[in-house]
Amino acid sequence: MNDFTSDIAALMEPVARMLLGEPNATLSSESELRYGSHGSLSVDLAKGAWFDHERGVGGGVIGLIHDKRGLEEKDAFEWLERQGLKPGREPTPLRPNGKRRAPPTGKMVARYAYYDERGDLLFEVVRYDDPKGFRQRRPDPSKPGSWDWSVKGVRQVPYRLPELVEQISHGRTVLIVEGEKDADNLWRMGVPATCNAGGAGKWGAALNEHLRDADIVIVPDHDPTGQDHAEAVASHLSGVAARVRILDLSKFWPDIPHKADISEWLALGHSRDDLDALIDQAEDYQPPRPSGPARLIQSSAEFVAGFVPPDYVLEGVLQRRFLYSLTGKTGAGKTAILLLICAHVGWEGKKLGDREVEKGRVLYLAGENADDVRMRWIAMAQQMGFDMDAIDVHFIPGVFKFSEMLERIRSEIALVGEVSLIVVDTSAAYFEGEEENNNVQVGNHARRMRVFTGMPGHPCVVAACHPVKNAGDDNLIPRGGGAFLAEVDGNLAACATDGSVKVSTQGKFRGPDFAPMFFQLRSVTHERLKDSKGRLVPTVVASPLSERGRDEVAQAMHSREDELLVALLDPQSRAASQTKLAKRLGWKMKDGKPYHVLVGRILKALAKAKLITFERDRISLTKKGKEAAEQLVQTGGHGTDFVQTPEHV
């Protein structure tokens, strides 16, 4: 452990006491703090590490700040400095209850006084720079003119309470913000405003009664902590205030910076009229519905009244509010099939094969290879005839952490509009853990994806997944196995068979089972898809296959299998590469290049049927294979009349 790391680790005890409160005295020791009635959260003071055994998560000092405050690394270090806990500086000694004995150091830049209804000073919040921080103090009754830097037991009231009482009596709307500076800025515009001491997460029930029968508008800072604070305050005041609304600035400020507040919005030059217009559009707070009825036992009528009918995006297969995995080996066509479904949902809601599709907005997370997705999407527009500029499908290219971006995605969806379908391509690209076989990490990852089903519109979410190691076609379970499967509502398996791709359920599926769907993969070109030398670059698209189409593709594949099997009677063919075999057979792709990929696929099919074997760089016919090839020559059924198959990859 280097000096800087040691400095960080040394801050674990004061940080833990600030964020978690007092530990379980019975279960704690000099080297370890324990929290919870059973001590399920442990803090190792020597290592500067914590672990929550109930949730299976843990980390160091910065990780604890992220977990409890939602702050990323840079913001977490700033938070430490505001608390006077800059790494490398010896923390001020703590009392047994975790409170600081000494007044803070730093330059005092602002004082915010909290008065009671009669105008008597209760305490002050003091803001410092170098280092940044906030402290609370109260007049020391034993030493007139001095301050006591502990406010334990001091009555907590809303900021600027005497003015609030007057304004509420006149029926004025009151804004609740996160800090005193924001409240003062609003008062300068003639807008009554208040906050609680201590910032986000510190609203107490003692403040509620002061705002009884008031018209309240809560304006949170633009970060997860601010959103959580707004929800908590709204919950406190629901049923106390006459009306409670939440004004989400991000809905009216498209490029709002992270952590921006109402003061920053006003600094852009907005007027009182602009603010009044936003307040008029603020949404009324809707308390969350109870998780269940008051009684545990329900009557038959109550039980069936809770039925929510399936809301299908793709008839009989994909439902809104459900999380699915689409699992397939590399090359099985997962991306092509998902893009096909997206196009049908976002375009006209036209049928996909014989299944109805509900038209809606689509969001596609292209994490594994965004350029490949772009090529396929361009080609698909040409194949299906939709307008890429008008279709209601939206993309987020690149990899990011769900844990950091979920709220930003939620806010941007609110701007774009409700979505019906979200595709995650692929699940592995967004995995934040270290080991995909770790049940806890895999479970956490799947639960993060499930959060998307609660986004505006309650979309269906489909994640493209790689299968477990050495998976057979009858065991296409998503990587992560049972831990991942337990968190999804259904697993769809994509399996290449007889020149087509079969999609069916495997492992788990909530809802009525459905007949397998079949798709055809085709290699196509587009004038926009060229390399740096101007040569066309093929890409792959999918299209639905009817029963008749499947029969034709299967017949074509069988004919090509026969043709290749007969060719292998020639010793030179058995020693040839797949590219040379394609040339011998005259199999070409649309760009004229030898179709070696098809040769490879058919060789695998012949090997699976035990007609050939591979020995080093040579192919050998088995006895069964040689007899079959000779029989084809004798009967003339060696591919001369085969149906031309579409090009596959």
Residue 70, sorted as left (phi over 0), alpha (psi -120 to 50) or beta, turns out to be left
pLDDT for the residue numbered 362:
96
**Sequence letter at residue 142:** S
Contact (Cβ atoms closer than 8 angstroms) between residue 621 and residue 569: yes
- Mean pLDDT, consecutive 10-residue stretches, the chain (649 aa), reads 55 85 81 83 86 82 85 79 61 43 65 92 88 85 84 92 93 96 95 94 90 96 90 92 95 92 96 95 85 72 81 94 94 94 88 91 94 95 90 94 89 88 95 83 90 92 92 87 88 84 92 90 88 89 82 77 90 89 85 81 86 87 91 70 33
Q: Diameter of the chain by CA atoms?
A: 115
What tokens appear for 361 in the block?
């907005």
Cα 322 to Cα 342: distance, rounded to the nearest angstrom: 16
Contact (Cβ atoms closer than 8 angstroms) between residue 500 and residue 519: yes
Cα 456 to Cα 642: distance, rounded to the nearest angstrom: 51
pLDDT for the residue numbered 131:
67
Q: In the chain, how many H helices and how many E strands?
A: 20, 26
Cα 504 to Cα 506: distance, rounded to the nearest angstrom: 7
Contact (Cβ atoms closer than 8 angstroms) between residue 101 and residue 92: yes
3-class state of residue 481 by DSSP: helix
What tokens appear for 29 in the block?
């020791």
Cα 302 to Cα 129: distance, rounded to the nearest angstrom: 59
Cα 134 to Cα 558: distance, rounded to the nearest angstrom: 77
Contact (Cβ atoms closer than 8 angstroms) between residue 529 and residue 535: no
Global pTM reads: 0.50
Cα 74 to Cα 486: distance, rounded to the nearest angstrom: 35
Contact (Cβ atoms closer than 8 angstroms) between residue 545 and residue 500: yes
Domains annotated for the chain, with CATH where assigned, are 3-82 (no CATH), 107-148 (no CATH), 161-284 (3.40.1360.10), 312-543 (3.40.50.300), 547-635 (1.10.10.10)
pLDDT for the residue numbered 304:
83
Other beta carbons within 10 angstroms of residue 575's beta carbon come to: 11
Residues near 528 by Cβ (< 8 Å), separated by ≥ 6?
378
Please identify which residue in the block is written with the tokens 């900021």: 159
Helical spans, DSSP H, in 465-522: 481-485
Name which of 313, 308, 544, 348 is nearest 421 in CA terms.
Answer: 313
pLDDT for the residue numbered 86:
61
Three-state secondary structure readout of 485-524: HCCCCEEEEEEEECCEEEEEEEEEECCCCCCCEEEEEEEE
Please identify which residue in the block is written with the tokens 């190792």: 44
Q: β-pairing, 460-465 with 323-328?
A: parallel
Name which of 622, 600, 620 is nearest 611 in CA terms.
Answer: 622
pLDDT for the residue numbered 90:
40
Cα 361 to Cα 235: distance, rounded to the nearest angstrom: 32
**What is the number of alpha carbons within 13 Å of residue 229 lying toward its C-beta?**
28
What tokens appear for 144 in the block?
């007139």
Contact (Cβ atoms closer than 8 angstroms) between residue 165 and residue 117: yes
- Across 40-87, the runs of DSSP E, i.e. the strands, are 41-44, 49-52, 57-59
Q: β-pairing, 500-509 with 490-497?
A: antiparallel
Q: β-pairing, 312-314 with 318-319?
A: antiparallel
Q: Could you give phi then psi for residue 410, rounded to 5 degrees?
A: -60, -45
Cα 595 to Cα 587: distance, rounded to the nearest angstrom: 5
Q: What is the DSSP letter of 467?
A: B
Cα 490 to Cα 105: distance, rounded to the nearest angstrom: 57
Cα 330 to Cα 540: distance, rounded to the nearest angstrom: 13
Q: Could you give phi then psi for residue 351, rounded to 5 degrees?
A: -60, 145
Cα 60 to Cα 5: distance, rounded to the nearest angstrom: 10
Cα 559 to Cα 637: distance, rounded to the nearest angstrom: 8
pLDDT for the residue numbered 1:
44
Cα 442 to Cα 478: distance, rounded to the nearest angstrom: 11
Q: β-pairing, 283-284 with 243-246?
A: antiparallel
Residue 239, sorted as left (phi over 0), alpha (psi -120 to 50) or beta, turns out to be left
Residue 194: its H or E element: strand 193-194
Residues near 128 by Cβ (< 8 Å), separated by ≥ 6?
104, 105, 106, 107, 108, 109, 134, 135
What tokens appear for 321 in the block?
């509010």
Q: Could you give phi then psi for residue 388, rounded to 5 degrees?
A: -65, -25
Residue 385, sorted as left (phi over 0), alpha (psi -120 to 50) or beta, turns out to be left
The residues pairing with 463 across neighbouring beta strands, listed in sequence order, are 325, 424
Helical spans, DSSP H, in 363-519: 370-384, 402-416, 439-450, 481-485
- How far, CA to CA in Å, does 432 sit from each of 362, 399, 444? 24, 11, 9
pLDDT for the residue numbered 87:
64
Cα 58 to Cα 3: distance, rounded to the nearest angstrom: 22
- Across 75-181, the runs of DSSP E, i.e. the strands, are 107-115, 121-129, 133-139, 147-148, 173-176
pLDDT for the residue numbered 292:
55
What tokens appear for 221 in the block?
């800072």
Name which of 304, 278, 321 is nearest 462 in CA terms.
Answer: 321
Cis? peptide before 505, omega within 30° of 0: no
